[in-house]
Amino acid sequence: MDTAIKTEKLVKHFGKGDTLVEVINDATFEIKKGELVALIAPSGAGKTTLLMMIGCVLTPTSGKIWLGNELVYDNKWLTKEQRKIRREKIGFIFQAHYLIPFLNVLENVILIPELNGVGEAKAKEKALELLDYFGIKDKADSMPANLSGGQNQRVAIARALANNPEIILADEPTAALDSKRSVDVVKMLKKIALEQNTAVIMVTHDEAMVPLCDRVLTIKDKKVYNLAIDEYKNRAIV
């Protein structure tokens, strides 16, 4: 399998001098395309910080990041347009759906593809395909405020997939869902990872989701470990 995300000696500090806080001191790992990886760590361990660095939102203190075959960070961003990288390579899913409230379902899904230069007709066709896949095609013209939480979350996932991303970063997508729906969403992410050959990193606190994933990223003492499911279960390293 091809590499989707690779990091090398990734470090993130906040502040300086007496107020310096080390959050991540060594993150060296590799995630392949088609993998669903759970990112599990206690609160405050640096999960979101790690996710934001991979997502080109937060600038690391040092280290290297590859997205696909492209080295995007080598002690500095190698492109001025991190936002373009996000738009073209990454799909985001959040705990809350965070749909744009003044756009209807279809417009929320086609917003990023259109900005990437995909024609309106093609973007709509793909969006409707995705909405159909998630069983909410009939809601294409509805406003997010008129949908249920579960429907909105499915729209958010469709939006994350609309730009054919190489990577999906999901920040606690199941936190607001009951256990049955949580399992459904994780299974859906697994299916997407396989069918679209996409790497999915999913932040979660729910240990029950771990068996559904391919690997586990965890953070202990500011160091990031990339573990197989069995290794994580046995707590061999952590």
Partner 1 sequence: MINLAYKDIKHSLGKFVATSMGVGMLLGIVLIMIGVYRGMVIDAQVLIDDINPDLWIVQEDTLGPFAQSSRVHTDLRDTLKVLDGIDKTAALTFEGFQIDVNGKAVKVYAVGYDPLGEMSAINPKRLIKGRAILKEHYEVVATDKIGLKLNETIRLGRDEYRVVGITHGTVSSGGDPLIYLSLKDAQKLQFLYSNFRVRNDRLRGIKSRANDLVNCVVAKAKKGFNLEVLAKEIAKYRHKSVYTQEQERIILTKNLIKMASKQIGMFTVILIVVSTIIIGLIIYTMTLEKIKEISIMKLLGVPNSSIIKMIVQETLVMGILAFFFGLLFSHLIYDKFPKRVVLQNHDAAALFAIVVAASLIASLIGIKRVISANPAEAIGG
Report, in Å, the least distance between residue 178 CB and partner 1.
21
Report, in Å, the least distance between residue 233 CB and partner 1.
28
Closest of 114, 116, 115, 134 to residue 124, by C-alpha: 114
Report, in Å, the least distance between residue 180 CB and partner 1.
25
Tokens of 20: 């310096």
Question: Which of 85, 227 has the CB closer to partner 1?
Answer: 85
CA distances from 128 to 120, 133, 186 (A): 12, 8, 22
Question: Which of 106, 186 has the CB closer to partner 1?
Answer: 106
Q: How far is Cα 221 from Cα 238, in angstroms, rounded to an integer? A: 10
Which residues of this protein are in contact with partner 1, per CB under 8 A? 48, 51-52, 55, 57-58, 83-88, 90, 92, 94-95, 98, 100-103, 107, 110-112, 114-115, 120, 143, 159, 171
Report, in Å, the least distance between residue 8 CB and partner 1.
22
CB atoms within 10 A of CB 189: 25
Question: Which of 84, 233 has the CB closer to partner 1?
Answer: 84
Question: Which of 96, 238 has the CB closer to partner 1?
Answer: 96
Q: Classify residue 197 as exposed, middle or buried by CB count within 10 Å of its CB (0-12, 13-18, 19+).
A: middle
